Chains A and B, each alone.
Chain A
Amino acid sequence: MRDRFALSMLTVAVAAASVGAFISASITGSSGQGPIARPATVAGKPNFSGIWQANNEANWDLQAHAARPAAVTQEGVYPYDYARVPAAPVLALGAAGAVPGSLGVVQGDGQIPYKPEALAKKKENADHWIDRDPELKCYLPGIPRAMYMPHPFQITQSTNKIHMAYSFSNTARTIHLDKVEGPPDDAWMGHSVGRWEGDMLVVDVSHFNDRAWFDRAGNYHSDALKLTERFTLRSPDVILYDVTIEDPNVFTRPWRIAMPIYRRVEPNMQLLEFRCNEFAEEFMYGHLRKQPLVKRWEGETMTIDITRKIPPGDQFYQWYSR
């Protein structure tokens, strides 16, 4: 801790020479009146502070895919995979429940190098998306998924910490630029340690649990996951986000995803809450209600009738019968 303070003082001294002039020019009210404009640098490093959001389909599937009618489909009139129709759980959403196509964000050949048995599990995950994807239960998204969910996040960049606050599920992570050892237990969001390589922010993330997914397509990892994230400010409003993913339990080799992440430039932008555990209550506990809300068609009233068979091992309520 003493080192940390000394380090930040040293940073001040070094930074003062290089960026002092810029900061004083861009700060409209140093400690009294008026807001402070966002300077281009913090202590001499590119300033990533602000509210950001990916604008792609990676949260649906990291890999290239064609659009399809729904996240959950069933066999329709034809027996072909390409002619399936939306299934009951998402039927009422109409076209709003469809999955947009994408060219994918996996670099190189576009393939995720699963081990054979891991690929089988990925496919099984996809078949049981509703039962298994932690996003639906409002569990924490993990990294890197939190970076490209369809929700904004806010970066607050200081000299020894960079804080990332995600609107999804109130979650956050602190990137330690100073020395802080990893936690004694695994975590959804891992443990992030950052360093500067020139103007590039490089973050090593470890100490993950084995529960988070990469997307809604069942792509997953184990608790051996290690990430190397690279953040480059391509322009004041675009981050180039590049992640090397290693997990010898699941993949045969390291692989990379990359994407731009855009600043939310609206002048009135601010991070609003997305406190989704409230929104997931009906999904998780609805069947326990005294008067269930999910019924059937009554006359012309569409009341969704959901048949949701949860396979052994995925049953949230198995706990009760123990």
Chain B
Amino acid sequence: MRDRFSLLVATLAMATVVVGAMSVTQLSAQGPVLKTPWGEPDLQGIWTDESDTPLQRSPRFANQEFYTEAQRAELDRDRAALLRRDRRVERGTELDVAGAYNAVFTSQKRTGARTSLIIDPPNGRIPAMTPEAQQRAAADRDFRLALLQSTDTCKNKSVACAGGKYDPTPSPKRAEPPPRYNTVRINRHDGPEDGALPDRCLTLGLPEFGAATGSFRRIVQTPGGISIFYDVGQGQGWQRNIVMDGRPHLPASVRQWYGDSRGRWEGDTLVIDVTNFSPKTDYQGSRENLHLIERWTRTGPNALEYVVTIEDLTVWTRPWTVKQDFTRQSDQDNRLYNEPRCIEGNYGHPGLIRGARMEELAYAEGRGPHPATKDNATDFVGVEDDPLQ
């Protein structure tokens, strides 16, 4: 859930309203595989996953691929109770101010049938990381914790400081670059690059498994061509134009935020091979070596099956596979969605940088504490713990 609760001002505040009004489109035609007039399988329309399923299976359901009806009902009941709650921490504290989003803002969809989106490995869990990937992840974590070490977050042993410890002496890491290109929120705002990618309107692209703020994909086809527009991340929409003529991937020197997609039909399934990701992207620790093999299959008038195998042998000891079921959405109800205009309303990101300069000035003039004691990274305390995650 990389971009799940980005701090950005909601440029598409309307979006929450529209999401609420989402309805399933009813098609009159029933039949075998729907085809375009030119004979290719028809994947067209706006699609989303209408249920919530955790990426990884909870240990509580370790031996279950599917929930029982009773378990789903219980989860739905527990999760419905979260809706519209406004959880607060102690009033007047920094953490309370940082709670930009609460359950009034977020929404819960009905619990899905499966206990995990991951269908392979059979245990529904992301495979073990390679030792090298674990080392890289540890270096990232140590850097992040070093920037927090002099704050109340660590002093009070908050969960955000898990794995670190309080030290009133500011870390020398505050003046160092991160171990590798930063993608997450860290407690430093020296410049734009210290911002998390979602805070910079640079939400990661693929794989895209949905988020609390919605995840919609519009597919339009032409003979030999497919275009997909993703509406995700509060105005951080983006597009894929699938190259379908069998040519090889882009040269290795050309790297993109959304990778390079090469598609082909295997029977009625659209198979897309995605490589050439930018080293600035990060999915669960995987960067430029991420390789996706997606399979899109229209399984009914309102149903589209999406299966993706995720591979990076420099990060995981084996490939793993995720399956999602999309439902067709109303064209009319989703007609607002093609504007990736996050940047225009993004006061949060420069606000964090400017705030850091103000704190430095206050400290220099003897009006404020040492900036290293301030935590400007930890937030979302107002969000309830979803029993599904």
Residues of A within 8 A of B (CB): 1-2, 4-6, 8-9, 11-12, 15-16, 23, 27, 29-32, 34-39, 42-43, 47, 49, 137-140, 154, 156-159, 161-163, 165, 169-174, 176, 178, 180-185, 187-189, 191, 268, 270-273, 275, 277-278, 280-282, 284-286, 288-291, 317, 319-320
Contacts and interface: CB of A to CB of B under 8 A. Distances in A.
Given A181-B335, A284-B350, A290-B360, A39 B343 contact: no
A36 B344 contact: no
A5 B247 CA distance: 33
B341 A188 contact: yes
Contacts of A277: 200-202, 342-343
Interface in B33-55: 35-41, 44
A188 B344 CA distance: 11
A43 B37 CA distance: 7
B212 interface: no
A185 B38 CA distance: 36
A156 B227 contact: yes
A290 B191 contact: yes
Contacts of A31: 35, 39-41, 265, 267-268
Chain A at the B interface: SS class: loop
B97 interface: no
B353 A285 contact: yes
B339 A140 contact: yes
Interface residues of B, number: 71
Interface in B239-254: 239, 241, 243-247, 250, 254
Chain A CB within 10 A, most for which of B38, B192, B264: B38
- What 6 pairs between A and B have smallest CB-CB spacing? A36-B224, A156-B227, A163-B220, A281-B192, A35-B245, A290-B190
Contact of A49 (B225, B229, B238, B349): B225
Contact of B241 (A154, A158, A161, A187): A154
A249 to B, nearest CB: 22
B37 A161 contact: no
B81 interface: no
Contacts of A180: 331-332, 335
Contacts of A138: 343
Nearest to B227: A156
B244 A35 contact: yes
A165 B244 CA distance: 16
B16 interface: no
B237 interface: yes
A309 to B, nearest CB: 19
Contacts of B265: 29, 31-32
Contacts of B238: 170
Contacts of B44: 158, 161
Contacts of B353: 285, 288-289
26 contacts: A1-B27, A1-B332, A2-B26, A5-B27, A5-B28, A9-B29, A23-B38, A36-B224, A36-B244, A38-B225, A156-B225, A156-B241, A158-B36, A163-B218, A165-B241, A169-B340, A171-B339, A172-B227, A174-B229, A183-B335, A272-B254, A275-B202, A288-B353, A289-B190, A291-B191, A317-B354
Contact of A156 (B226, B349, B350): B226
B200 A30 contact: no
Interface in B149-190: 190
A12 to B, nearest CB: 4
Contacts of A140: 339-341, 344
A23 B335 contact: no
A11 B42 CA distance: 15
B350 A317 contact: yes
Contacts of B350: 284-285, 288, 317
Contact of A47 (B29, B41, B222, B227): B222
A189 to B, nearest CB: 6
Given A31-B265, A158-B220, A272-B256, A39 B38 contact: yes
Interface in B1-58: 14, 25-29, 35-41, 44
Given A31-B268, A140-B340, A158 B27 contact: no
A139 to B, nearest CB: 5
Nearest to B14: A185
Given A35-B246, A139-B344, A140-B341, 5 more contacts: A158-B221, A163-B218, A288-B354, A290-B191, A290-B356
A156 B339 contact: no
A113 B192 CA distance: 42
A303 B200 CA distance: 26
A284 B191 CA distance: 11
A273 B343 CA distance: 16
Contacts of A137: 343-344
B336 A184 contact: yes
Contact of A289 (B35, B191, B245): B191
B59 interface: no
Given A170-B237, A271-B241, A278-B200, A6 B28 contact: yes
A282 B193 CA distance: 10
Chain A CB within 10 A, most for which of B37, B220, B239: B37
B330 interface: yes
B351 interface: yes
B356 A187 contact: no
B279 to A, nearest CB: 13
Contacts of B221: 156, 158
Nearest to B337: A183
Contacts of B339: 140, 171, 187-189
B20 to A, nearest CB: 14
B193 to A, nearest CB: 8
B28 A2 contact: yes
A314 to B, nearest CB: 14
